[in-house]
Amino acid sequence: MEKIVVASGNRGKIREIKEIFKNYDVISMREAGFDREIDETGSTFEENAVIKARAVSEALGCIALADDSGLCVDALGGAPGVFSARYAGGHGDDGANNALLLENMRSVPDEKRGAYFESCVALCLKDGTVVTASGRTYGRILRAPDGEGGFGYDPVFFSGELGKSFGRASAEEKNAVSHRAKALAALAQKIGGIL
Ligand code: IMP
C-alpha cells in the first residue's frame, strides 16, 4: 500500500488522523524526514490545507495529506477561525489560547456561546492532483476547562453531539463525531477509486 504522509507537526492531529485513517498506511512528515515550517498564508481552511499538502508532496515526491482546522465562535464573529493555533500569539500554545478565549467570552450569556470546529483536509497526489473535503461539528464554549483529553480547544468545547466536553471524551467518542473524522470520511469517499 502506498504511504500517505501527514503534513502536520501537531501531535494531536497526527494521532487522530492515524486512528481515523487506520485502513491506510499513514506516517507523519517528521517520520518521513520533513521538518521545515510551512507558512500558512491562506485566508481559508481549504487554502491552507492545500498549501501544506502541496509543500510536503513536492518536497518528498509522496502522497501528502494535510488538515487545516480551527474553532469558529459565533459571539466572536467566527474567530479565532484560521488563526486558532496562534490566537494568543505563540503558535500552538493551547493553554494560552484557551485562557484568552475564556476571557474574551466572559460576558457572553449561555444562549450565545455557540461554536463549531471545522476541518478541511487536502490530499495531494504525486502528479500534483489535489482532492479536498471538509467537515464540521457543533457545540458551545464552556465557562472553564472541563477534562484533559484531546488537544487544543477540546477542554473548553462542549459537544452538542456527545453531550459532554471533548476534553472528557474518549478518542473513540471524539472520532465518532469530530469535524476531522467527517472531513476524512468525505475524503475517503472521494479517493476510494484513486488509492
Ligand atoms: P492548524 O494546524 O493551523 O490547522 O491549527 C489548528 C488549530 O485549531 C489547533 O492548534 C487547535 O488550536 C485548533 N483545533 C483544530 N482541531 C481541533 C480539535 O479537534 N480540537 C481542539 N482544537 C482543535
103 three-state secondary structure = helix
Name the residue of 15, 69, 71 to mutate for ligand 1: max ligand atoms within 8 A of Cβ. 69
Cα of 69 vs centre of ligand 1, distance in Å, is 5
- pTM of this structure: 0.96
Which atom number of ligand 1 is nearest to the Cα of residue 80?
8
* pLDDT tens, per residue, the chain with 195 residues: 889 999 999 999 999 999 999 999 999 999 999 999 999 999 999 999 999 999 999 999 999 999 999 999 999 999 999 999 999 998 889 999 999 999 999 999 999 999 999 999 999 999 999 999 999 999 999 999 999 999 999 999 999 999 999 999 999 999 999 999 999 999 999 998 677
Scanning the chain, the segments in alpha helix (DSSP H) are 11-20, 45-60, 94-104, 171-177, 179-191
Q: In whole angstroms, what is the distance from residue 29 CA to residue 60 CA?
A: 9
Quick: pLDDT tens for 138-186: 999 999 999 999 999 999 999 999 999 999 999 999 999 999 999 999 9
Cα of 152 vs centre of ligand 1, distance in Å, is 6
